[in-house]
Copies of this chain bind each other. A is one copy, B any other.
Amino acid sequence: MTSLATAAGGRWIWKACRARGRGRLSCRHGRRWREKCKVAPNPAATHWRAGAERRLDRGGLRKRAARPPRLRLARLTARGEGWQLLKACCRPIVRALVLAPHSRHLPPFSRSCRPRCVPGPMADEEPAAKRRKALARLDSQAFVQSKSVYADTNGVPRSGDPPRVLHLGLTDGEIANRVVVVGHHSRAELLSSFLSPEGSEVFKLASDRGFLAYTGLYNDQRLSIVSIGMGLSMMDFFVREARAIVQGPMAIVRLGTCGCLQEWVKVGCVSVASAGSALVQRNYSHFDAPKAHAGSEPYLISDLCMPDAELTALVASSLQEALGAQKVVEGINITADSFYSSQGRADPAFTDENSVLIEKVLQRYPKAITMEMESFQLFHLARSSLPKGSIKAAAAVVNVANRPTGDVVDGEALRCAERDGGRALLQALSKLKL
C-alpha cells in the first residue's frame, strides 16, 4: 500500500488515501490539504488525530518528528484495527512514506529519512483511493464533462474550455499546418527533439485515446509531429480533427514502417508512395455469410489514390539528400485494413483464406513495393478535402521486413532511417509553400 506526499515547484501538495467509510485521513496541515483535495472537513478526524498523536508522544517520536517540518500526517485505517503513520520528509522534493498497515506497533523512524515500506496486507481502502484518482483523471480527460460544454453531436463535437476535439484532445492552434504523422510514440518523441520551442518548451499533449502530439519550430516554420496509432480509423480521426482546429491549407506527411513486397527492395530503405496507394479490405460478408455470398472474393482491392505530386517530389528529393539515392525507392503503396489477414500473413487461429492474397495484389499492381495500414486513408481524405487541394499529403515508409526473402532490418539501420528520414521530412515540409 502506498500513499504519496509530494512537493512540486516548491509548493506543498499533500495527497493521501482517505479511509473509506469510518475513518478519514487527518493531518496537522489538514486545512491546506483539504483545500487542495477539495475534501470537506471531517469531524471524526480530530478524534483520530488526537489518538495518533498520543501514541507518537508516548514513543517520543513526535518531538523528533517535529523538527521543522518533518512529520505531518498521521492516519488511521478504515477499520480502526490499527493505525498507519505516514511520514513525509519535508525536503524540497521528496516522496517518503512509512506504512504499517494493520499494526499496533509504531514502525521505527529511520534516522536517515529513507523511505520505509513495511510490507503488510493490502488495506481495503487502497483500491478505493486508486479508483478516486482514476475517476478524477476521467473527470479531467473525459470528453463529456457537462451538458453545456459538449455540443454539435451531429457535426465535429468539441468539449471543455477551450473547446477541444474529442479524440486528439487538442484545441485551435495547438498543432501546425505542417504535420509529420507517425505510428510509434517513441518515433514522435525522437522527431520532436529536432524541433525548437516556440515558447519555453516544445508543446506536447498525449490524449486519453492514444494520440501524442508535439508542436514547435523547424527552420523557423511551425511544425507538428503526431503519433496516431494504427489503421484507417485512427488516420481518419487525425485528419478530420486536425482539420477542425487548423486554419488555412495543410500539408501532412506520414513516416511509417512497412513490409515490402519486392525481393529487390532492401530492408532499411525508405519507400515513397509516389505512384499512389491502393486499399486491400477484408470482405466481411464473404466470411460471415458464405452461402449468401458464394463466389465473392475474400478480400477487395481498390483503385489507386494519388498523393500530392509537389509534396511527394519534395519528400523524395529531401530523403535522397539525407539518406543517399540508393536508400530511397519510389512506387505504389498498398494499404491493408489488417496487419494480419489483409496482408496475407498466415495465422492458424483464424479463418482468413489469404494464402494467395499477395499474388493477387501483385497481379493487379506489379509495381507495388510496400504494404502498410494508413497511407491510402491519408491520400483519400486529402483528395476529399474541401476546398479542393486544401490538404496536401505524401507518405514515406521505412522497409522493416522483406516479405519474399524474410529479411528484417537491424536496429541500427532502422534508427538511422527514422532519425535521418524523419529529419528529411521535417526539412521537406518546412520548404513547402502553402
Q: Which residues of A contact B (CB under 8 A)?
A: 10, 89, 91-96, 110, 112-115, 122, 127-128, 130-131, 134-135, 137-139, 141-147, 150-151, 153-157, 166-167, 183-187, 189-190, 192-194, 196-197, 208-211, 227, 229-234, 236-237, 240, 243-244, 259, 279, 281, 284-285, 287-289, 292, 302-303, 305, 337-341, 344-352, 373, 376, 380-381, 383-386, 390, 400-403, 406-411, 414-415, 418-419
Contact = CB atoms under 8 A, between A and B. Distances in A.
Contacts of A197: 122
A197 B1 CA distance: 12
Given A230-B167, A230-B234, A400-B144, A380 B288 contact: yes
B134 A190 contact: yes
B208 A229 contact: no
A137 B189 CA distance: 9
A122 B202 CA distance: 12
A143 to B, nearest CB: 8
Interface centre among A240, A284, A345, A403 (most CB of B within 10 A): A284
B232 A229 contact: no
A153 to B, nearest CB: 5
Given A231-B233, A240-B340, A345-B155, A350 B381 contact: yes
Contact of A303 (B114, B141, B142, B285): B285
A407 B414 CA distance: 49
Given A154-B345, A380-B284, A93 B122 contact: no
A113 B141 contact: no
Contact of A233 (B96, B234, B303, B411): B234
Nearest to A346: B155
A12 to B, nearest CB: 12
A348 to B, nearest CB: 7
What 5 A-B pairs are tightest by C-beta distance, nearest first? A231-B233, A210-B210, A134-B190, A130-B193, A131-B193
Contact of A305 (B231, B284, B337): B284
Contacts of A138: 184, 186-187, 190, 415, 418
A339 B237 contact: yes
26 contacts: A89-B93, A92-B114, A93-B95, A122-B196, A137-B190, A141-B184, A142-B184, A145-B411, A147-B407, A154-B344, A154-B345, A183-B209, A184-B208, A186-B208, A209-B229, A210-B227, A230-B233, A232-B337, A233-B338, A233-B339, A236-B339, A240-B338, A243-B349, A243-B350, A285-B302, A288-B305
Contact of A153 (B337, B352, B403): B403
A120 B355 CA distance: 61
A113 B131 contact: no
A92 B89 contact: yes
A303 B288 contact: yes
B190 A209 contact: no
Contacts of A409: 144
B210 A384 contact: no
Contacts of A407: 147
Given A92-B113, A349-B243, A384-B351, A186 B288 contact: no
A416 B334 CA distance: 44
A384 B285 CA distance: 12
Among A114, A155, A184, A410, max chain B CB count under 10 A is at A184
A240 B131 contact: no
Among A154, A279, A380, the most chain B Cβ lie within 10 Å of the Cβ of A154
Given A92-B96, A134-B192, A144-B401, 10 more contacts: A10-B115, A91-B91, A130-B192, A131-B193, A144-B409, A151-B408, A167-B339, A231-B236, A240-B349, A279-B284
B196 A419 contact: no
A134 B193 contact: yes
Contacts of A157: 401
A372 to B, nearest CB: 11
